[in-house]
A and B are shown apart, each in its own frame.
Chain A
Amino acid sequence: MTLSEFYSKLGGNCAEVLKRIPSEQMLKKFVKMYQKDPSFSQLEEAVAQKDWQTAFRAAHTLKGVAQNLGLADLQRTASELTEALRGAKPLTQPELLDAVRISQKQIVDAMKELDA
């Protein structure tokens, strides 16, 4: 899968991102770096422990990372979750977290098919 196909699969636009980050090589490097990013697991962990302050921060970070990488689906779902958790509010709409999980899974799956 090319980088462009990767992005369209995840609701993003590769060409748009390349306006901000001019080298495709570098963008690919950043995208691959995402696999090491702990924000998603931190989010899951914090929600499980009902630590809403940390959950908010993790969702917020995840949103920022998605925004930087142009991962549009994740950016949208993470953003909605961030707003729901803002002020360390307990999560009352579990479907918001499920949406983030789906975005995350799609990214992880697509990453496997991405050209080296």
Chain B
Amino acid sequence: MNYSLLVLASPLSGGTANRSACRFAEAVISRGHALRRVFFYDRGAETALATAVTPPDSEDLRSAWLSLAEENATELVSCVASGLRQGVLDDGEAARHARPRTQLKGFTTGGLGLLVDAIAGSDRVVTFGESMDP
């Protein structure tokens, strides 16, 4: 089957949903399914933030996402509008706003059209968000 993921949870939040998404992505692939695209939206866009440093005693989820994408031709897309609010700038946005580039290499930037395209072109789309309950 053809899967895409929608990731709303940040790897920096202290929660576990971003990690669950990454583990799920690995499981999808190891079962022989195709993982076309992961769309990082809302706080999930922080997954592409190059300037955040993972402490040595914690798992570096960014490198897990990157190696998964590299080995399986999965597209990692960070939402451009969410990214701007959280300081994730690709080369184009960095130039436009006169700031340094902060997007991790290996991620691409895109709008919600790429999420719509993933929904239309996948058998399954699975959302990973953090509970927003108080």
A pairs with B: no
